[in-house]
Structure 1
Amino acid sequence: MTKSNMKTSVKALSLVFVLSSTLLVAGFSAPSLAQEASSERKTQRVPTLRAKVYDQLSRAQTAADAGKPKEAFAILDEVKDKANSMNSYEQAMMYNFYGFIHYNLEQFDQAIASFEEVVKQQPIPTSFEQATLFSLAQLHMMRGNYDSTIEFIEKWEAIQKEIAPGVEIPAKNLVLKAQAMYQKQDYAKASAYINQAVKQQENSKEGYQVDENWYVLQRAVYFELKQPEKVKDVLLKLVKQYEKPAYWIQLAGMYGELGDEKQQLAYMEIAYQMDYIATGSDIFNLSQLYYYHQVPFKAALLMESGIKQGKLSKDERNLTFLAQAWSFAKENEKAVPVMMAAAKLAKDGELDAQLAQTYLNMEKWQQAIDSSITALEKGGLRNEGTVHLVLGMAHFNLGDYNVALNELAEAEKFNSSKGMAQQWLKFVQTEKATTERLQAQLANSGDNSYL
């Protein structure tokens, strides 16, 4: 799993939290909010929302719901003109409506400004203030204002500590802070927050399932902290709880990164059986695993299938690997046409050299010679000496001893093929001498039947 893929999977987390529905706009009740007070805030008397203000705000809401934002803003502006005669609660509700309409119009910066005015009005009901603070944290997260996100969520928490001391911070707050810290690239703090949120949810008496996106964020944080073992553990949870193909592939990749190739292959095999191996890159990766684990026939079959289905292109890389897999599986007849196709696409002669070696193994001497010559003509060879060695061996098998000796002498000039070339030189020289001696003896005896 690459870093870019990991980041892509987390990118959407900034929008995980939909703006809180507790903006207290739709269906608000004037008397209920006005009566609220906490144990710490009982001395803070919250003013009531008077009926005449309530009626005006209701008119604005009706216009907004009818898709008439200009009319709604005009009504609110009329209310605002009388702000001097309004109490803190009434002004807060007015700004709340401004924010609500701006938000629906996707005017997020104006919405933020309006909601910030809401919490400036004091005193207001505690639940109203907290709901607005949380919405502000979410909006700032959407706008990429990560410091402000943390600022407003911590203001929410400060109020919570007053009204409910000793009660743990809700997991959703911790996740929002973790998101902001992740975006700020403070991965250590992000890890602390998301780990606490996940632990809190996993240990919940209600048995709530951890939100999928929380695990995604936790995995991303561990990835950034270069803790692959923990990334793997999170992926195991994702595989178990959320049946998605990508998680199986990523889990296999993490086992590979941890050096556990057997588990990597096992999970890729499971994914394949579940039809999760769908992309060309996944097909190629599984084929490589088969090849690495000495199962070249499966590698070749999978590659061939991927090419036939159009999921893998018939390019040099894929054809070369397919040819290598067939060769490794001792299926030379299948390997040759694929290698020939790959060699035609290559600018250098490396594949032609491999083809020559394959022909040599198949005892097709002339084809081995032809491919070797093509390889030398194209050039760009990693080991030119080996090509001359193949030429020497092929010419020897055709009985062209002098040409074979010349090619072996060329192979001897390269360190990588020097030892083998010297052994073959001695062998060919001996065979040549033996053949010439036999021919001389037969000629002297007058028996030309074997010449």
Structure 2
Amino acid sequence: MKMTARVSKLVRQTLLAAPIALAPAASSVVLQSLGMEALSAGSVFAQEGEKQKPKYKTKKSYSLRQPVFKDFAKVQEKTDANDWPGALEVLNDIRKKSEKYTSFEKANLWNYYGWVYYSLENYPEALRYYGKVIAEEQLSDALKIGTLYTMAQLMFVQEDYRGAIEKLKQWMEIQPIVGADAFVLLAQGYYQLNDMNNALTNINTAVERFESKGKVPKENWYTLQRAVYFEKGDNKKVIEILHKLLRHYPKPTYWKQLSGMYGAEGQEKNQLHSLEVVYLMGELGKEKELLNLAYLFMGEDVPYKAARIIEKGMKAGIIEETSKNLEVLATAWRLAQNVKKSIPEMEKAAQKSDKGDLYARLAGIYLDNDQNEKALEAGAKAYKRKGIKRPDQLQIVLGMANANLGKYKTAIKEFEKAAKDKRSRKFARQWIEFAKGELKRKQSLGI
């Protein structure tokens, strides 16, 4: 079934995990002709143990006359051989004398037409003939019940969700045993019509019936239920259902979705732990996913793990060695107090950048590690490339590097530039006083 454009990506992946299983009512004809009650399409629900008082009883039983039975036997031979075009030819021949058929016999004729057209994947014609079945006055329980259910499913295939819901409701009115699957199918129809309230009512009915008996609902029931709650914006319920999915149907995709929902709820630690599980399972194979996990680790003050994830991702060719990504890696190593690894990564990041800001930051790292000459070199490159976000901070770094090298006059000039920015004025003036004092002391000593 095609999904409508409004269905979100999260939902699109799991809404209808299992295909709709059609059960053409035509297969019941021979059993009926022998006086046996055929299994209807809905009878599969009996195995769920859903017991209800019968809502519908046939007042009169009908049967096929011997000549008519022989006619249908010819069709059955073709269908048993999967010769659907041949079956259609036989049906067309039979139809020529159908004026003498009873209403019940016509109903079975139309039923065969519906089955054959369905098998030929001509669903509009199949629906038309199944509609003719329902229109006949003489109809057995099994034929009416099976036909209504089959029509509902075919309408789902045709994306006629309103029609499918209508037929399914008619089926539920006369089906003696209605199981949870029917409520799921109804919920799917309402979901496609964006009627989330009715969708929720029906999917909850199905799930609760199973859970109340200690049984585990099918996976696609949970995913539909989760999808409805997601559309209604109930993130807490989505998280609750994802926990059930992980308990009964553990998959990496559900861990990913759980991480995303925790993120939407602002539960960063739970978001991190859920995504880390996926990483440890080896199921994070995209750059964005790995970087997201690294950012989460950095946000929770675990920079070492962040650095290791990015480093491993780059070696595997998953994370591209862009200026931005290298900068994040350098920052992670620096926060992890591993300057030896931080500096080379920041150098590569700065070289790849077309602006001078990373060189300005690199100058600060060099200064912190007493590499004053390199700090001055990085600062010069930063000025040359331009695009520095905080020139005043770079000027402070260059001033301090010059002061550490005993170049007080040059240091004072840099501090004076920085003092023009009010954000660095106080700090710059303190350094100016210090540099002037050291310069005066140096001159007095004749150095």
Answer yes or no: is the 8 Å Cα contact 2:31–2:37 preserved in 1: no
1:189 aligns with 2:198: yes
Which of 210, 231, 256 is residue 238 of structure 2 equivalent to? 231
Q: Which aligned pairs between 1:238-277 and structure 2 lie closer than 5 A?
A: 238-277=245-284
Tell me if the contact between 1:16 and 1:213 (Cα under 8 Å) persists in the aligned partners.
no
1:333 to 2:340 alignment? yes
1:301-380 equivalences in 2 (<5 Å) = 301-380=308-387
Instruction: Please report how far the alpha carbon of residue 40 of structure 1 lies from its aligned counterpart in structure 2 after TM superposition.
Output: 6.3
CA contact (8 A) 1:35 1:46 kept: no
C-alpha change, 1:246 and 1:405, in structure 2 (3 Å) is same
Contact preservation (8 Å) 1:178, 1:194: yes
Tell me: CA distance 1:41–1:264, structure 2 relative to 1, closer, same or farther (3 Å): closer
Which of 386, 401, 416 does residue 394 from structure 1 map onto?
A: 401
Q: CA deviation at 1:278?
A: 4.3
1:9 corresponds to 2:13: yes
Shift in Å at residue 132 of structure 1? 1.8
**Which deviates more from structure 2 when the two are superposed, residues 265-274 or residues 322-331?**
265-274
2:146 matched to 1:146?
A: no
8 Å Cα contact 1:34/1:49 also seen in 2? no
Contact in 2 for aligned 1:24/1:128 (Cα 8 Å)? no
Distance 2:217 2:325 in 1: 41
Provide the C-alpha distance between the structure 2 equivalents of 1:187 and 1:412, rounded to a whole number of angstroms: 62
Aligned to 2:127: 112
Change (3 A) 1:80 1:254: same
Q: Determine if the alignment matches structure 1 residue 420 to structure 2 residue 423.
A: no
2:221 paired residue number: 214
Rounded to whole Å, the distance in 1 between the matches of 2:70 and 2:231 is 53
What is the CA–CA distance in structure 1 between the aligned matches of 2:408 and 2:37, rounded to whole Å?
108
Pairing partner for 2:302 from 278, 295, 301: 295
How far apart are the structure 1 equivalents of 2:355 and 2:267? Answer: 36
Q: Alpha carbons of 1:108 and 1:356: their partners in 2 closer, same or farther (altered >3 Å)?
A: farther
Give the match for residue 91 of structure 2.
76
Match of 2:212 in 1: 203
| CA positional deviation for 1:139 | 1.9
Q: What SS does structure 2 have at the residue aligned with 1:259?
A: coil
Alpha-carbon shift at residue 230 of structure 1 (Å): 0.6
CA distance in 2, matches of 1:208, 1:243: 17
Give the Cα–Cα distance (whole angstroms) in 2 for the partners of residues 325 and 424 of structure 1. 30
Alpha-carbon spacing, 1:396–1:173, altered in 2? closer, same or farther (3 Å): same
Please list every run of 5 or more consecutive structure 2 residues that lacks an aligned counterpart in the other structure: 1-6, 40-52
Shift of 1:34: 6.6
Post-superposition offset of 1:352 = 2.4
Give how far 1:256 is off: 2.8
Q: Is the 8 A contact 1:112 1:136 kept in 2?
A: yes
Indicate how the Cα distance of structure 1 residues 121 and 276 shifts in structure 2: closer, same or farther if over 3 A, else same.
same
Residues 147 and 112 of structure 1: CA distance in aligned 2, closer, same or farther (over 3 Å): same
CA shift, 1:199, in A, is 0.6
Alpha-carbon deviation of 1:22?
A: 5.4
Residues 43 and 159 (structure 1 numbering): CA distance in 2 closer, same or farther, change over 3 Å? closer
Higher mean alpha-carbon deviation, 363-372 vs 71-80, is at 363-372
Change (3 A) 1:312 1:28: farther
CA-CA distance at 1:21 after TM superposition: 6.0
CA contact (8 A) 2:161 2:190 kept: yes
Cα pair 1:34 1:48 within 8 Å, conserved: no
In structure 2, the CA distance between the partners of 1:341 and 1:86, relative to structure 1 (3 Å rule), is: farther
Does residue 19 in structure 1 map to residue 48 in structure 2?
Answer: no
Work out whether residues 304 and 332 of structure 2, in 8 Å CA contact, stay in contact via their aligned partners in 1: yes
- The answer on 1:171 being equivalent to 2:180 is yes
The separation in 2 between residues aligned to 1:31 and 1:54, in whole angstroms, is 9
Q: Is the 8 A contact 1:353 1:372 kept in 2?
A: yes
The answer to which of 98-107 and 148-157 deviates more is: 98-107
Contact 1:178–1:189 (Cα < 8 Å) also in 2: yes
Greater Cα offset, 95-104 or 20-29: 20-29
CA distance 1:298–1:76, change in 2 (3 Å): same
1:25 and 1:96 in contact (8 A); partners too: no
**C-alpha contact 2:149 2:168 (8 A) present in aligned 1:** yes
1:31 is aligned to 2:9:
no
Question: 1:363-418 CA deviation, whole Å, 9 max, x = no partner?
Answer: 22222223233333333333232222222222222222232222222222334433
Partner of 1:91: 106
| Bigger relative CO (Cα 8 Å, ≥ 6 apart) | 2
221-230 or 4-13, which deviates more: 4-13
Q: C-alpha distance in 1, partners of 2:222/2:271?
A: 21
SS at match of 1:347: coil
Q: Which residue of 1 aligns with 2:415?
A: 408
* Displacement of 1:249: 2.1
In structure 1, give the amino acid aligned to 2:127: I
Determine the C-alpha separation between the residues in 1 that align with 2:283 and 2:29.
44
The unaligned stretches of length 5 or more in structure 1 are: 440-450
SS in 1 for 2:34: helix
Query: Is contact 1:34–1:47 with CA below 8 Å preserved after alignment?
Result: no
**Secondary structure in 2 aligned to 1:122?**
coil
| 1:158 and 2:173 aligned | yes
Aligned in 2, Cα 1:209/1:363: closer, same or farther, shift over 3 Å?
same
The number of aligned residues is 428
Per-residue deviation at 1:334?
1.1
Q: What is the CA–CA distance in structure 2 between the aligned matches of 1:329 and 1:420, rounded to whole Å?
A: 27
- Secondary structure of 1:312's counterpart equals coil
The normalised TM-score by structure 1 is 0.86
Name the residue aligned to 2:147.
132
Residues 106 and 344 (structure 1), Cα distance of their counterparts in 2 relative to 1, 3 Å cut: farther
| Aligned mates of 2:355, 2:13 — CA distance in 1 | 39
- Kindly, what percent of the aligned residue pairs are identical? 33
Structure 1 residue aligned with 2:437: 430
Question: Which shifted more, 252-261 or 239-248?
Answer: 252-261
Q: Distance in 2 between matches of 1:429 and 1:373?
A: 24
Structure 2 match to 1:444: none
Tell me the secondary structure at the aligned position of residue 386 of structure 1.
helix
* CA pair 358-197 structure 1, distance change in 2 beyond 3 A: same
